[in-house]
């Protein structure tokens, strides 16, 4: 369940000493207050939905909603509203979401760079995860590297999903027979997605 709604938060209040209160006739007591409204998701402000506000006379305590303001008060209120910036924290949920998406993107990119580096410079002990058949996944382990080829032993077992495949990556699961793949072919298999992960300890 996602809990959301909207809230109003006070941003600032300023006195305008030039204004006269139409209700009590005192000059200098009108204060304008500006509020920001935002949508919260789980109480974290996420989307700003603009500003609102009112004026109040400090002598007679009369509150003027925008539609009740005379022209002078309205002008003063609108100027102040226009000059008031919505605080950044009213968007903090959106910022958090953007940062999380960015971190995932960077992490994916770094992992892909690592895998290309491993493919270009294979090392004994590298483990390649590949799709053996429809919804069956298995691993190959590098046992020897030559100038243009890589020698693997293959896993006798397959696993039904990508996640958790480490469970079959143990010595007793691997065959004794070596299997040779050219480096070029390996890159083709990686680019096609047959090989989908390369691990190095
Ligand atoms: Zn007043």
Residues facing 74 on adjacent strands: none
Q: What is the pLDDT of residue 128?
A: 95
Tens of pLDDT, residues 62-104: 999 999 999 999 999 999 999 999 998 888 888 888 999 999 9
Domain boundary among 37, 65, 93: 93
Tens of pLDDT, residues 95-110: 888 999 999 999 888 8
Please indicate, yes or no, if residue 116 is contained in any of the structural domains. Answer: yes
Overall pTM surpassing 0.85 (yes/no): no
Please indicate, yes or no, if residue 167 is contained in any of the structural domains. Answer: yes
Q: What's the angle, vertex CA 71, arms to CA 56 and CA 34, rounded to 5?
A: 40
Please indicate, yes or no, if residue 104 is contained in any of the structural domains. Answer: no
How far away, in angstroms, is 27 Cα from ligand 1 center?
Answer: 8
Say if residue 69 is in the same domain as residue 117: no
Say if residue 86 is in the same domain as residue 126: no
Say if residue 142 is in the same domain as residue 184: yes
Q: Where are the alpha helices (DSSP H) in 2-53?
A: none
Say if residue 122 is in the same domain as residue 152: yes
Show pLDDT as tens, one digit a residue, over the chain (201 residues): 888 899 999 999 999 999 999 999 999 999 999 999 999 988 889 888 899 999 999 999 999 999 999 999 999 999 999 999 999 888 888 888 899 999 999 988 888 888 888 999 999 999 999 998 888 999 999 999 999 999 999 999 999 999 999 999 999 999 988 989 999 999 999 999 999 999 998
Please indicate, yes or no, if residue 99 is contained in any of the structural domains. Answer: no
Please indicate, yes or no, if residue 186 is contained in any of the structural domains. Answer: yes
Contact assessment for residue 29 and residue 14, using Cβ atoms and an 8 Å cutoff: no
Say if residue 149 is in the same domain as residue 75: no
Work out how many domains the chain is built from and give that number: 2
Please indicate, yes or no, if residue 67 is contained in any of the structural domains. Answer: yes
How far away, in angstroms, is 62 Cα from ligand 1 center?
Answer: 6
Q: What is the pLDDT of residue 151?
A: 96
Q: What is the pLDDT of residue 69?
A: 96
How far away, in angstroms, is 13 Cα from ligand 1 center?
Answer: 17
Domain boundary among 58, 93, 128: 93
Please indicate, yes or no, if residue 102 is contained in any of the structural domains. Answer: no
How far away, in angstroms, is 56 Cα from ligand 1 center?
Answer: 8
Say if residue 120 is in the same domain as residue 157: yes
How far away, in angstroms, is 57 Cα from ligand 1 center?
Answer: 5
How far away, in angstroms, is 58 Cα from ligand 1 center?
Answer: 7
Say if residue 75 is in the same domain as residue 147: no
Say if residue 68 is in the same domain as residue 124: no
Say if residue 47 is in the same domain as residue 83: yes
Q: What is the pLDDT of residue 134?
A: 83
Q: What is the pLDDT of residue 24?
A: 96
Q: What's the angle, vertex CA 109, arms to CA 106 and CA 111, rounded to 5?
A: 110
Say if residue 89 is in the same domain as residue 116: no
How far away, in angstroms, is 59 Cα from ligand 1 center?
Answer: 5
Q: Which of 181, 168, 192 is nearest to 122 (CA)?
A: 181
How far away, in angstroms, is 11 Cα from ligand 1 center?
Answer: 23
How far away, in angstroms, is 7 Cα from ligand 1 center?
Answer: 29
Please indicate, yes or no, if residue 177 is contained in any of the structural domains. Answer: yes
Say if residue 15 is in the same domain as residue 76: yes
Residues 6+ apart with CB under 8 A from 184: 148
Domain boundary among 46, 65, 93: 93
Boundaries of domain holding 14 = 4-93
How far away, in angstroms, is 179 Cα from ligand 1 center?
Answer: 91
Say if residue 80 is in the same domain as residue 138: no
């Amino acid at each position: 369940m996602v809990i959301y709604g909207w809230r109003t938060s006070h941003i600032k209040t300023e006195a305008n000493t030039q204004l006269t209160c139409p209700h009590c006739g005192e000059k200098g007591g009108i204060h304008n207050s500006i509020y920001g409204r935002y949508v919260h998701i789980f109480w974290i402000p996420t989307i700003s939905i603009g500003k609102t506000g009112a004026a109040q006379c400090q002598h007679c305590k009369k509150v003027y909603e925008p539609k009740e303001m005379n022209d002078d008060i309205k002008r003063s209120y609108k100027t102040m509203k226009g000059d008031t910036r919505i605080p950044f924290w009213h968007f903090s949920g959106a910022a958090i979401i953007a940062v999380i998406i960015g971190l995932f993107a960077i992490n994916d990119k770094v992992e892909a760079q690592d895998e290309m580096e491993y493919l270009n410079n294979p090392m004994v002990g590298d483990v390649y995860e590949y799709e053996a058949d429809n919804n069956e996944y298995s691993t190959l382990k590098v046992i020897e590297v030559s100038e243009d080829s890589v020698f693997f032993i293959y896993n006798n077992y397959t696993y039904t999903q990508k996640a958790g495949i480490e469970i079959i990556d143990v010595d007793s699961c691997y065959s004794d027979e070596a299997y040779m793949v050219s480096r070029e072919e390996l890159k083709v298999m990686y680019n096609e997605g047959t090989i989908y992960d390369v691990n190095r300890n």
